């Protein structure tokens, strides 16, 4: 098999394992993270209603102003998501790292969300 396919399959397995334990509600939604080579995306999801409450991406930040690097743009994305959550009066969330290792960009997004006022 291709090395890239194996990598994707492993991440998918980890993500399924995480999702079997984590679920979001309207009061405590789930932050779902996805990262590509260039951008990072985050959503606030209510799993009971199967609805996305808010979303943010580093692509949105590129339109306004450019961040220095991917890590800083991930942190700014976390802050943007926290602002959108606070406008909906959401303070507490559950963090779903999406099968990714909790380092560098995923950690920066989480730190930015915490700085923005979300508790998890």
User: Given this model, what pLDDT does residue 48 score?
Assistant: 92
Banded pLDDT at 61 (limits 50, 70, 90): confident
Q: Which domain holds residue 92?
A: 3-115
The Cα 90–Cα 44 span in angstroms is 10
Percent of the chain with pLDDT over 70: 97
Q: What was the pLDDT predicted at 86? A: 95
For residue 72, give both structure tokens.
């800083």
Q: What is the mean pLDDT of residues 84-88?
A: 95
Is 120 domain-assigned?
no
Question: Of the candidates 79, 72, 74, which has an alpha carbon nearest to the alpha carbon of residue 58?
Answer: 74
CATH number at residue 58: 3.30.420.100
Q: What is the mean pLDDT of the chain?
A: 92
Structural domain count, the chain = 1
Token pair of 74 as six digits = 């991930």
Check residue 50 and give left, alpha or beta (phi > 0: left; psi -120 to 50: alpha): left
Predicted pLDDT at 68: 78
3-state secondary structure of 66: coil
Flag whether 54 is in a domain.
yes
At residue 61, φ and ψ (nearest 5 deg) are: -70, -30
- Residue 83 falls inside a structural domain: yes
Would you state the pLDDT for residue 36? Answer: 94
Residue 40 in any domain: the answer is yes
The confidence score (pLDDT) of residue 66 equals: 60
pLDDT of residue 26: 87
Per-residue pLDDT tens for 22-55?
998 889 999 999 999 999 999 999 999 999 999 9
CA angle 73, 28, 115 (to 5 degrees): 35
């Amino acid at each position: 098999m291709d090395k890239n396919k194996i990598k994707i399959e492993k991440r998918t397995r980890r993500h399924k394992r995480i999702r079997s334990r984590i679920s979001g509600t309207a009061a405590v939604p789930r932050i779902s993270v996805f990262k590509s080579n260039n951008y990072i995306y985050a959503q606030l999801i209510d799993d009971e209603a199967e609805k996305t409450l808010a979303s943010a991406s580093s692509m949105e930040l590129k339109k306004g102003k450019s961040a220095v690097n991917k890590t800083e743009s991930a942190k700014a994305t976390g802050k943007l998501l926290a602002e959108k959550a606070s406008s909906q009066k959401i303070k507490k969330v559950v963090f779903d790292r999406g099968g990714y290792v909790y380092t560098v960009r995923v950690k920066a997004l989480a730190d930015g969300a915490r700085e923005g006022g979300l508790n998890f």
